[in-house]
Amino acid sequence: MSGRKKLRSAVVGCGMGSNHAENMFKSNEFDLVSLCDLKRETAVKVAANTGEPEIFTEYEKMLAEMDVDVIVIATPTLLHASMTLKAIDYNVKGIYCEKPMTVDFGEAKRMVKTCKEKGVALVVGHQRRMNTTFQTMRDLIEDGIIGEVYLMRGLCAGDFLSDGTHTVDTIRHLNGDSEAEFVLGQVHRDLDTADKSGETGKRFGHAVESGAMSVMHFVNGVRAEIFTGDLRVQGYNEKYPGWAYQDIEILGTEGRLWRNGDGADPQITIWDKQAGGWRGIEIDKNNGVSDFVNVFDQFAYFIKNEKEHPLNGKNALKTHELVMAVYESARLNKKIELPLQQDHFPLKLMEEEERL
Ligand SMILES: NC(=O)c1ccc[n+]([C@@H]2O[C@H](COP(=O)([O-])OP(=O)(O)OC[C@H]3O[C@@H](n4cnc5c(N)ncnc54)[C@H](O)[C@@H]3O)[C@@H](O)[C@H]2O)c1
């Protein structure tokens, strides 16, 4: 890559953003020039491992002074949309926005539309789409190893918006990004439990439920069932290992493929006619390039108009629409046909209507 001009880059929000800063620092494509966090000491710690970029505690001041090409937004979700639009005002070329892209569906549409109008490359952090495990699963499915797929099941701790967005995006990815036809969803909230911030019923600045269940039907005939949050009961997982974070099972006419949740070994097991039982599948996890480095290298090619990014904003919008449709289904107690007509955040509406 020598001879290519590096993209002047900055990261705002140094929690998850610290990973991105480290990956950009290692990449040949990016020149990490600044970090921003409300807590200066948080940014200072990250700067020590990333070439001591300039530190800011005010986002707009950083944008005004640093003249960056690329911004990575890894602040709490409620800030994603306004920070994306603000970066566009300062003429950035590329935005990597953490998932979920925002809260209200209307805002998500605005983010994608404005980026398109201004020629800004928008990527959303559904990085699981690009990891070796899910790529391997997608290849196996496409090769027809389990026949015709008819059902996908996903299980995930956390709330449906913050963590379930990965499950929905992975299911869409494994299902060849088929359009969804309808969704049916239900949620419950238990205000006896608080998240790490100590606030009940809130996470990353927005309302959350404690547990959600949903069914999604896709136009290619595949159905998905997803359970998130405390519907994955504490103790149950420990007793029956495998029911973990982003645990995904694919049922086909000739067998079953199962992605055992994060950290499990083997990552994938399969039951197929050939094996006559469950067997593990070897995955090359040491191919020399970490998943995130690949995500960021491709981000640079996307900004330079060389190749569309698998995590592009338009695609992420489809995932966000499904997540919001599940909440809307819970709010209205009915099946929701896509495309979604509700632009607001249904959980917030449910709070206002005192029905959550
Ligand atoms: N892609 C993934 O797998 C993944 C993993 C974790 C988190 N996330 C997403 O990343 C986002 C942040 O999550 P996190 O776990 O890093 O949260 P966090 O609370 O650990 O970190 C957020 C950081 O943003 C800073 N911040 C808050 N408001 C700010 C502002 N106005 N200006 C500058 N800095 C500000 C906070 O001080 C904090 O250091 C969330 O949207 C979350 O969903 C994605």
238 domain-assigned: yes
CB of residue 268 inside a 6 A radius of ligand 1: no
Identify the residue whose C-alpha is closest to ligand 1 atom 27.
75
Residue 200 sits in the same domain as residue 216: yes
Buried b (16+ CB within 10 A) or exposed e, 107-130: bbbbbbebbeeeebbbbbbbbbbb
Average pLDDT, the chain: 92
CB of residue 98 inside a 6 A radius of ligand 1: yes
pLDDT-derived band of residue 238, with 50, 70 and 90 as boundaries?
low
Could you tell me which residue, 245 or 39, shows the higher pLDDT? 39
Residue 145 sits in the same domain as residue 196: yes
2 domain-assigned: no
CA of 73 to the centre of ligand 1 (A): 8
DSSP state for residue 356 in the 8-state scheme: -
Average pLDDT over residues 222-230: 94
What CATH number corresponds to the domain at position 147?
Answer: 3.30.360.10
Identify the residue whose C-alpha is closest to ligand 1 atom 10.
74
149 domain-assigned: yes
Average pLDDT over residues 270-274: 84
Residue 136 sits in the same domain as residue 267: yes
Residue 47 sits in the same domain as residue 142: no
Residue 63 sits in the same domain as residue 13: yes
CB of residue 130 inside a 6 A radius of ligand 1: no
**Which atom of ligand 1 is least distant from the CA of 39?**
37
Instruction: Tell me how far apart the alpha carbons of residues 347 and 129 are, in angstroms, rounded to a whole number.
Output: 27
188 domain-assigned: yes
Q: What is the 3-state secondary structure (H, E, C) of 58-109?
A: CHHHHHHHHCCCEEEECCCHHHHHHHHHHHHHCCCCEEEECCCCCCCHHHHH
pLDDT of residue 264: 80
Residue 156 sits in the same domain as residue 275: yes
345 domain-assigned: no
The pTM assigned to this predicted structure is 0.93
Domain range holding 297? 7-126+289-311
CA atoms within 13 A on the CB side of 81: 15
Residue type, 10: A
156 domain-assigned: yes
Q: Does position 191 have pLDDT exceeding 70, yes or no?
A: yes
Average pLDDT over residues 317-334: 98
CB atoms within 10 A of CB 36: 28
Q: Does position 149 have pLDDT exceeding 70, yes or no?
A: yes
Q: Does position 285 have pLDDT exceeding 80, yes or no?
A: no
Domain boundary among 281, 299, 321: 281
Average pLDDT over residues 128-143: 93
Instruction: Tell me how far apart the alpha carbons of residues 67 and 9 are, in angstroms, rounded to a whole number.
Output: 9
CA of 307 to the centre of ligand 1 (A): 28
CA of 10 to the centre of ligand 1 (A): 14
Rg of the Cα atoms in the chain: 20
Q: Does position 193 have pLDDT exceeding 70, yes or no?
A: no
pLDDT-derived band of residue 320, with 50, 70 and 90 as boundaries?
very high
For residue range 159-186, what is the model confidence (pLDDT) as tens digits? 999 999 999 999 999 999 999 999 999 9
pLDDT of residue 272: 84
Domain boundary among 281, 303, 325: 281
C-alpha distance from residue 9 to each of 34, 67, 280, 337 (Å): 7, 9, 41, 40
Report the domain count for the chain.
2
Q: Does position 250 have pLDDT exceeding 80, yes or no?
A: yes
pLDDT-derived band of residue 194, with 50, 70 and 90 as boundaries?
low
pLDDT of residue 230: 80
210 domain-assigned: yes
Residue of 35, 37, 41 to test ligand 1 pocket, by largest number of atoms within 8 Å of CB: 37
Average pLDDT over residues 35-44: 98
Identify the residue whose C-alpha is closest to ligand 1 atom 20.
15
**Which atom of ligand 1 is least distant from the CA of 13?**
24
Residue 251 sits in the same domain as residue 306: no
Residue 105 sits in the same domain as residue 248: no
CB of residue 173 inside a 6 A radius of ligand 1: no
Instruction: Tell me how far apart the alpha carbons of residues 267 and 245 are, in angstroms, rounded to a whole number.
Output: 12
Average pLDDT over residues 217-246: 81
Residue 183 sits in the same domain as residue 255: yes
pLDDT of residue 288: 47
Choice among 11-25, 116-130, 280-294 with the minimum mean pLDDT = 280-294
Q: Does position 23 have pLDDT exceeding 90, yes or no?
A: yes
Residue 276 sits in the same domain as residue 304: no
Residue 162 sits in the same domain as residue 183: yes
349 domain-assigned: no
CB of residue 159 inside a 6 A radius of ligand 1: no
Average pLDDT over residues 86-104: 98
**Which atom of ligand 1 is least distant from the CA of 42?**
39
pLDDT of residue 1: 44
CA of 14 to the centre of ligand 1 (A): 7
CA atoms within 13 A on the CB side of 7: 27
**Which atom of ligand 1 is least distant from the CA of 83?**
31
CA of 87 to the centre of ligand 1 (A): 17
Could you tell me which residue, 112 or 238, shows the higher pLDDT? 112
**Which atom of ligand 1 is least distant from the CA of 125?**
1
Residue 268 sits in the same domain as residue 135: yes
What CATH number corresponds to the domain at position 99?
Answer: 3.40.50.720
